[in-house]
Structure 1
């Protein structure tokens, strides 16, 4: 056992009794006896294991296992593993759509995959506006304010968001209790951008390695968060992975600086897909691309671009988009600027002639039909824009549409 061990500074004692400890990062709580309390207080400053052993000589035989358990629960940490201590998902209140937390015990009771919302409150990929970092909690507060509930026990009338029988799959997800909100990936202002993206990748990979039991639904954040998520999915699924990308932009933009390679450089919300191709992504299907910014964009062999004006015509013809293979794994990333600006104000990159709400809803329903979806995200929602209430309404509607399509 490594000698330097310290109490996690995010550990707090219950205000009413000192026999309960809480990890404010993970949300985990434990009841403990006097010796554990004494150990936690003793290790507020890092100590060598030999010093710990000397101090607690009366429980010398039990001490290694006790410390091992507290390390596993992140109540203690080794100095060499301090980064792991803050690489975690932190439960949040209020919960999105009043959904419960997915515990290991709860997961074992499910017979079908759980869909787990995870906030990614990171906006550093857009240097002109970082307010997307506030969106996961802003959306939670909105659904709490209007009592929008998708937990198993609540009443939810889907006729309020669509026509009769349109949201049967969503209703079944709710009825079966398969929807959960596990909180936000933890970030701190002292962390570098490189480390923040590293944390997203590491947490995402752990989830994808357990994808037989759950489907992660990430709430961003700007579009730069999608690269570490997709990169981790590629490490798990390899060439079987395809990306379905709803966006006004290709997000393959670069500059002369892109040609300069060095360790301190990171990606941004306008080139995340380029980074995905560099990481090994072999196929991305892009829907809604349009605008002057794309006049000089040339697709590569890994891109299939469905230009917005062409898709509008395909939608009129009730095209089913059956050309997308059904034997692949799909990650879905949804940028809200795919919608026309008259329907969505909460973006920093509006592009005219986008999809109507009805066109985009049809697109989601048909493109995702019968696809093996391994994960999703919605991104590029900015809290400092006008008509935030309308932004929340549109975001909620399309989260419902996505849930209804993937189930």
Structure 2
């Protein structure tokens, strides 16, 4: 990048210089720069904000009105959500104030105002913290669901700690490389953001960006496959097990966007046109994080949808009763168990397909043992998950 690494005092005289040198044979048009991507960053981030808020609202309603029990992943979720919305909003601001969408050689240094520089620096601080919080929320969701399985509990804790250390190191490198130089005015921010350590083609930030993308793919795959062996051993009906598989396997969508983000980062590695070439990576990264946060809401939303269908269309689909055989061998329709708010763990954040440890209408309040297969994991996991999550008789 042109001017990368020059002394701080010279930036005060550099307003009329381009942000980057134009490629050979390309003439820069400062008066009418061409917009690239039609504000795709704004469009993508706006959709992510709408989806995140919608699913968060559904999760909040289900938690307050239906489940009435908080778990540790809830606390991480409600810290992650404002962090993600902040990062998305910063991207939208930068995209609409000339920081992105125009070729770097068609942007003069004067375009980089203090708000733009400050927002860019804040984004580099918020992004690692937000990424870790969302991944930790997913791992705490798994941890709460299968806390009786020792190896899975250790793997979740190990993943949370490993990811924290990695993203803490990422945060430290970003702050130390792009920090304001010599004060908090515009020139100080400019000297930091455009320094060789921050904006150079061989800067630590560029290398860290590629390393972060690789780690994101590995960590997303880790989170995706971690609970699958435990789900396989659940002693529950195939229909219910399929539902749990669907919830946890939805993380494959986050893995897909994570791999896309890695591909875009590899393609743009070492580029001098960061204001354009980095947009696809930014969009896919934001979609990946948003999908990760939405996954933690799927169970609550599914629970809410099921109760809505049972209340509105229960008579049409038989949602409030189930068939059972009497002592005489005749088929009778018995009322389903009602949800008992806050019933034990109820897979904690998963509160989904059909609920839990409750009593039958006008019957005894004792819990009926649904499954008796005495395996090491199925007896423990099915007792704490199956009976609580799937209170309906098979």
TM-score by length of 1: 0.25
Instruction: Give the number of the structure whose alpha-carbon radius of gyration is greater.
Output: 2
Larger relative strand fraction: 1
The answer to which structure, 1 or 2, has the higher relative contact order (CA under 8 A, 6+ apart) is 2
Larger relative helix fraction: 2
TM-score by length of 2: 0.26
